[in-house]
Amino acid sequence: MHAVSETVERSAMLAMWRGTLHRCPNCGRGEMYTSYLKVADSCSECGQELHHHRADDAPPYFTIFVVGHIILAGVLALEQAYAPAAWVHAAIWVPATLVMSLAMLPRVKGMLVGLQWAMKMHGFEEADTPPSQPRQTS
């Protein structure tokens, strides 16, 4: 006979991956967002409450950190290789920065919400959590 454990381990890697894909960290099927960066109050598939997250300014911080390093490396490499005019740099790197930032921001936020869920931070405790298996569909 198996003892049913009250505490269920949550995989941080899986939860962060699901968040990166804009999915619920608990079931991986429900949408995390109701709009571009607005996290749903709860998962439409499994009912997991998602409003507990406190991503705050961490997503833009990490997005700026990553995008800045990539763009700066590109600027320096292009300058070293071809030394193009300033307008060429501007024409390449300004749109690249905007596109990369806007693409990364919801993914980074989803990853951080997933991490907070896996670490049971900010109200993502066991008591609020339905079973992590997706519902049976027959």
Cα separation, 130 vs 43, in Å, equals 11
Smallest separation, CB 28 to Zn ion (Å):
7
* Window 95 to 134, contacts with Zn ion (CB under 5 A): none
CA separation for the pair 18, 88 (Å, rounded)? 38
**Bridge-partner residues for 39, per DSSP?**
33
Residue 43 contacts Zn ion per CB under 5 A:
yes
The amino acid sitting at 76 is L
| Selected range binding Zn ion among 48-56, 60-68, 94-102, 105-113, rule: CB under 5 A | 48-56
> Is residue 26 involved in binding Zn ion (CB under 5 A)?
yes
With binding defined as CB under 5 A, does residue 30 bind Zn ion? yes
Count of residues in the chain: 138
Binding to Zn ion by residue 45, rule CB under 5 A?
A: yes
Query: What is the 8-class DSSP label of residue 127?
Result: G
Name the residue nearer to Zn ion (CB basis): 26 or 63: 26
CA distance 82 to 79: 6
Q: Give the footprint of Zn ion on this chain (CB under 5 A).
A: 24, 26-27, 30, 43, 45-46, 48
